[in-house]
Amino acid sequence: MHTSHEARRIPQALTAPEWWRTAVIYQIYPRSFADASGDGVGDLRGITGRLDALDELGVDALWLSPFMVSPQKDAGYDVADYCDVDPLFGTLADFDELLAAAHARGIRIIVDLVPNHSSDQHPWFQEALTAAPGSPERARYIFREGRGPEGDQPPTNWESIFGGPAWTRVTEADGSPGQWYLHLFDTSQPDFNWDSEEVQEEFRRILRFWLDRGVDGFRVDVAHGMVKDPTFPDWTPDPQAASMGGDATPAPYWEQVGVHDIYRDWNRLLAQYDGDRALCGEAWVSTIEKTALWVRPDEMHQTFNFHYLETPWDASALRRTIDDSLTAFSSVGAPSTWVLSNHDVVRHATRLGLTAESPQGAGIGSDSPGLPDPSQALQRARAATALMLALPGSAYLYQGEELGLPEVLEIPDDARQDPTWFRTSGERYGRDGCRVPIPWEAHAPAHGFSATGRSWIPQPQGWGEYARDGQRHDADSTLSMYRRLLALRRTHRLGEGSVEWLDVKDLLGAEAAEVLALRNQGVVVLANLGADPVALPSAATVLAASTHLPSAQHGVEQSSVGGAAALLPSDAVVWLVSPESPEFS
Ligand code: NOJ
């Protein structure tokens, strides 16, 4: 780690003001990224050893999913000590080394903060269990008496996001059945009471701990859920809504106005540090307009745009979401963000080809209905990425999407780890299928994930075909496409630009309802979501395309690709420029 008296070369990328407005942020799910220790679980030294690949990819920042001390009941989203590294992932010194190595490459790091709940192994919860009802120890969490004459009914009818009741009854010190505690997630994840000044102060301490170490910011878990309706009403979710929120009538534990005070407080705390440290909220909120409330000027800096992730592969729906996002976020002076995949959802290289609904968090398996043709789904995923990376603002990538990884469907039941699987007795597969350790080298043990060949969830047959080494020098690979798009995004400063929709008929000389055309910083982006190919406009130069562009036949007049006339196939996106005029005329 550098010390303050050392002359440290600060890469230019790290001096950019408000870097988060335009950054491409790559999510690392540490347990599945790279395993240096050989125990089959990825770790911090594994990440440090693979930083060159991320540098080569061309991302601006990394978001690390939790690596703090945890019994791993929810893959680290159950934290027992917020200020130390779990031995599974390494040590604080390993973290410092990783941060310094990333910074030396001009790459920032934001870490995951889990403030809605702790692990039941957190010392505070252990103290609460042995303390009496009404004690200060219990006041750090949400304990209530049960309903009914015996108090044996939960205080509300709330369901856990992972299935089953959201309340668990404790046994008091004298052995009698006692109070109930709230856990919106697993029983091992008791919710904090954010009315408690002690809880608030503890999280200020935790923020300072990581800020003092030099992190560039935080991704804040369940940022829409920390405050509960104090009347604790019964509530039944809309079965169609995403499990993490988004119902038309918000749950009494989502979107409560009190959460905003917490972020105002944290905003002031971060502002005491140099380097534009940022807060990015994981807020699954019902509308884009409401999502923007999380990023008002005195609150968080970014919030995930899950509305974009949830938009179907449909031209008018996507255009509406893009417009609504830009309008809503700019109305509060925040950048829009864009995201297609993360560790909680079916990977977009599978999801975009599904013909059946797959509610967020529920997951899919090999017997799920509506499974896609993998190559068509990948074609669509590449197109979706090429559209997303052309948009102004900041974009999030999830490890492995640059390899075109699909959701893994064939996970043996006894290898599954997601609490969703257990709490629903296998009715919902959960999220293991997007968390399988990623392949680095086609022919190495565990495909380069771990030298010992171990892998905490088995990698499926054929995983080596997606390995990074095979894709690096293949100009047509998904990895090469990501690298090209990221480099162009940077050169053309697309993150700082704006979206101007272009008239498709003017551009193509024909109506094409399923084609989107936009311009950002002089780059024209055409997305063909229709079933038929369309002829590209004349006189344009192709900067990048999500797929091979076939030549036009039968004398169709259109632009040239390397001198040959070209078509934009179905489920494809192209980036074009014209030196002469924006309309290529
Ligand atoms: C959201 C995280 O992304 C997810 O993985 C986790 O299970 C829940 N929050 C609970 O922390």
Q: Looking at the domain 123-182, which fold is it?
A: Oligo-1,6-glucosidase; domain 2 (3.90.400)
**pLDDT (0 to 100) of residue 249:** 80
Q: Would you call 432 a catalytic residue per the annotation?
A: no
Q: What confidence score (pLDDT) does residue 246 get? A: 75
200-204, 243-247, 405-409: segment of lowest average pLDDT: 243-247
Is 344 one of the annotated active-site residues of the chain? no
pLDDT in tens, 6-55: 334 567 678 878 999 999 999 999 999 999 999 999 999 999 999 999 99
Q: Which of 189-203, 398-412, 494-508, 563-577 has the lowest mean pLDDT?
A: 563-577
In the predicted model, is pLDDT for residue 413 greater than 60?
A: yes
- The response to whether residue 33 sits with its C-beta less than 6 Å from ligand 1 reads no
Residue 162 CB less than 6 A away from ligand 1: no
Highest mean pLDDT: which of 179-183, 241-245, 361-365?
Answer: 179-183
Question: Which of 68, 77, 114, 160 has the most ligand 1 atoms within 8 A of CB, as the residue to mutate?
Answer: 77
Backbone angles phi, psi at 306, to 5 degrees: -70, -20
Q: Which residues pair with 515 in a beta bridge?
A: 528
Neighbours of 12 (CB within 10 A): 8
What values do phi and psi take at 93, rounded to 5?
Answer: -65, -35
- CB atoms under 10 Å from CB of 179, counted, come to 22
**pLDDT band (50, 70, 90) for residue 537:** confident
Cβ atoms within 10 Å of 375's Cβ, excluding its own? 10
Statement: residue 65 has pLDDT above 50? yes
Same fold for the pair 6-118+198-229+239-485 and 123-182: no
Could you tell me if the CB of 344 is within 6 A of ligand 1? yes
Ligand 1 center from residue 308 Cα (angstroms): 19
**What values do phi and psi take at 434, rounded to 5?**
-105, 5
Q: What is the DSSP string of 128-196?
A: HHHSPTT-TTGGGB-EEPPBSTTS-B-SS-PBPTTSSBSEEEEEPTTSSEEEEEE-SS-TTSPBB-TT-
Whole-number Å distance, alpha carbon 222 to ligand 1 midpoint, is 7
Per CATH, the homologous superfamily of domain 6-118+198-229+239-485 is Glycosidases (3.20.20.80)
Find out whether the beta carbon of 113 lies less than 6 Å from any atom of ligand 1.
Answer: no
Structure confidence at residue 583 as a pLDDT band (50, 70, 90): low
Model confidence at 308: pLDDT above 90 = yes
Assess whether the C-beta atom of 77 lies below 6 angstroms from ligand 1. yes
**What residue spans define the domains of the chain?**
6-118+198-229+239-485, 123-182, 499-584
Among the atoms of ligand 1, which is closest to the Cα of residue 431?
5
Residue of the CA atom closest to atom 8 of ligand 1: 77
Q: What share of the chain is helix, strand, coil (3-state, %, to 5)?
A: 30, 15, 55
Distance from Cα 220 to the centre of ligand 1, integer Å: 10
Return the pLDDT at 552.
Answer: 66
Residue 13 pLDDT: 78
More confident residue, 6 or 243: 243
- Is residue 197 within 8 Å of 156, Cβ to Cβ? no
* Topology adopted by domain 499-584: Immunoglobulin-like (2.60.40)
Q: What is the pTM of this model?
A: 0.95
Q: CA 147 to CA 156: how far, in whole Å?
A: 8
Distance from Cα 36 to the centre of ligand 1, integer Å: 25
Decide: residue 229, CB within 10 A, 0-12 exposed, 13-18 middle, 19+ buried.
middle
